[in-house]
Chain A
Amino acid sequence: MSMNSLQTPLNTLPSEAFSRAGADSPSAAESLSEAGIMVTAASMPAGPADDLVLEVRHVCGGYKSGGFFGRGGSYKEVIHDVDFVVRHGEILGLVGESGTGKSTLAKMILGLLKPEKGEIIHYTKRPQIIFQDPYSSLNPAYTVEWTVEEPLRVFGKYDAAERKRRVREMLERVDVPEEVFQAKPDELSGGQRQRVSIAAALIRRPRFIIADEPVSALDVTIQAQILKLLKDLRTELDLSYLFISHDLNVVYQLCDRVLVMKQGRIVEQGTVEEVFDHPQQEYTKQLLAAAE
C-alpha cells in the first residue's frame, strides 16, 4: 500500500485539484501527507467522487508508547479497519461509548496521528476541529480577538486591517458580544468559549469541520443554542460536519447519517432514521435503550 503517493480520485484534474487543496494553505497538503494521509481535492465537474468531502478507507491505528530511543516499545491498536465517507453538506454523527476510539479517529483525520494501515483521503481544504472542552481549547494567555485572528496571521495572506475586519465579522456572526473581544478565556462563560472556538475554527473558511462532543460540557439551554448555530452555519458557509457525540438525543436532532462505533470498529451505519428506528446490531439497541 502506497502511503505517500498523491492519489487522484476519478475524474479529477490534477491542476484543479491543487488549486483547491492549496487554496487555503500551501503547507496543508505537505503536512497532511507527512502524516501519511493523502491529500487530494474534489473535481468541480460532476463525477462519482464529487459529493464527497472525506473518504476513510480501511484505517487501522493507535498509540505507540515506551521504547528506548524511539525503538521498541508497545503499540496499542485503537482503531480497527474503519471505513466510511463523509458527503458534501451532511452532518455525519459518530456515536459510541467513551474510550471507543472516536477522538483517536478524529486525530487521524486531522493528521495529528498517523494511521498504521489504510488511507484517509481529503477532498477539501484541511479540516478544522471544535473540541469538547472549551476550557482547554482556548489559549489562556490571549484575548478572544487574538485567538480568532491567529489562524489568519499564520495563513499570512491578509494585512492587519483585513484580518481585523474578518475577525469582527466572524465573532459577530457567532454572537460573541463585542465587550468580550478583548477578554481572556477565563473571563468567558462556557457557551461564549465554545462560540469563540467555532469562530477560530471557521475563520479560514474550511469546508469540513470535526466537532468532537462540542456541547457535552455545556448546560442544556446553551447546548440548544450552539447546536442551532452549527446547523445555521452549515447552510451559510457550505459546511460538512463529522459530529462526534455520546449523546444520542443530540445526534438524533442534528445529524443526517450516523456511524455506531464499538471498540474501535464501525458496527453499524445508516441514516439517523434507519439506525435509530430499526437498529440491526445488539450494541446499537443497547445504546438506544440506555439513552431512553
Chain B
Amino acid sequence: MKKKMNGYLMAGLIITGVLLLMTLIGAFYTPYDPTVMSAREKFNAPSFAHLFGTDNFGRDIFSRVLKGSGTTVFIALSTVVIGAVIGTAVGAVTGYFGGFIDEVLMRMNDALTAFPSILLALVVISILGPGSRFNLILALGIVFIPGFARVTRTAFASLRDRNYVESARLMGASSARIMLIHMLPNIFSVLFPALTIGFNNAVLAEASMSFLGIGVTPPDASLGYMLSEAQGMIVAAPWYAISTGLMIILLVFGAGLIGEGLQRSGNSTEL
C-alpha cells in the first residue's frame, strides 16, 4: 500500500502523537500525585499551579487526566488488539475458505452482532466479575470481534480468486501461508481504518462502561470514571467535566482523522 500524506493523516498523527506522548509521560511523572487529597485546595479553578483546577477532594485534575488517559488508552488499545487479532483470524478463515465453516462462524458472528454492544459487554462483565480492568478488556474485546471479522471477511473473499492467490495455491503454499503472507498485506488498506475506528469505539465504550460504574473502579481512574465523578460537581467544578470530556474528544478526533487520512491515501486499485 502506498501511503501518501494528506491533511487528515497529518493532523491526526500530530494530535494523537501529542496525546500519546502526554499519557506516556503521565505514566511516569505527574505534577501532583493524582490520588493525594488536600482539604485546603478544594474546587480550585484552573491556575498555573493547577492547570485544570482541582476537584472536591482537592486533587489536581491535570494529573488525574494524565493518569486517567493512560488507563483509557491502555484499555482501548488492548481491546482493539484482542478484537482485531481474533476478528481478523475469523474473517480470514471464513472469507478464504467460504462454504460450511463460513456459514457457521458468520452465523455466530451475527448472533454477537445482534446484541447491543454495551449490553453484550455487560453480560460478559457480569459473568467474569466486575472491577478488574482485565475483565473489562476481555469483555470489550469480545464485543469488538464481529466488526473486524466482517470487514476482513469481505476483503479476504474478494482477494481469494485473484490470480496471485491462485498462483500461491499452485506452488503448494499452505492455506495459513497464503492467508498470512500472500493476502494479509493486501488488506491493510481496509484493516488500518478499521483499527482507528475500533480504537475510537473502544475509548468511548470504556468511558461508557466506567461511567456506568462497571468498568474501572477506584483508586484506578480512567477518563470514563472521572467523567462520572465530574458529573456530580458540574456546577461546583465545571473544569473537571470539561477537561476530561475534552481529552476523550481529542483522543477520538485524532484517531478518527488518522482513519480518514488512511482511507483517502489508501491504494484505491486494491479492494
Contact = CB atoms under 8 A, between A and B. Distances in A.
A136 B164 contact: yes
Contact of A70 (B2, B100, B182): B100
Interface residues of B, number: 23
Interface stretch (B8-16, B167-175, B206-214): B167-175
Contact of B171 (A112, A136, A142, A154): A154
A28 B163 contact: no
A126 B177 CA distance: 19
B167 A129 contact: yes
Contacts of B168: 139, 150, 154
Interface residue SS majority, chain B: helix
A69 B162 contact: no
Interface residues of A, number: 29
Given A128-B170, A129-B167, A140-B186, A154 B103 contact: no
A70 B99 contact: yes
A267 to B, nearest CB: 28
B33 interface: no
B110 interface: no
A184 to B, nearest CB: 9
B172 A154 contact: yes
A12 to B, nearest CB: 23
Contact of A139 (B99, B103, B186, B269): B186
B129 interface: no
Contacts of A27: 172
B99 A140 contact: no
Nearest to B101: A70
Contacts of B103: 69-70
B163 A131 contact: yes
A112 B168 CA distance: 11
B175 to A, nearest CB: 11
Interface string A21-41: 000010110010000000000
A142 B167 CA distance: 14
Given A69-B100, A70-B99, A154-B177, A137 B164 contact: yes
B220 interface: no
A155 interface: yes
B170 A129 contact: yes
Contact of B170 (A70, A110, A142): A110
A140 B173 contact: no
11 contacts: A27-B172, A70-B99, A111-B170, A112-B166, A112-B169, A129-B166, A139-B164, A140-B269, A141-B186, A154-B172, A204-B171
Given A27-B172, A128-B170, A131-B163, 7 more contacts: A70-B100, A126-B172, A129-B167, A133-B163, A139-B182, A140-B270, A186-B2
Interface of B: 1-2, 99-100, 103, 162-164, 166-173, 177, 182, 185-186, 267, 269-270
Q: Which 7 A-B pairs have the closest CB atoms?
A: A141-B185, A137-B163, A151-B171, A139-B164, A131-B163, A136-B163, A154-B173
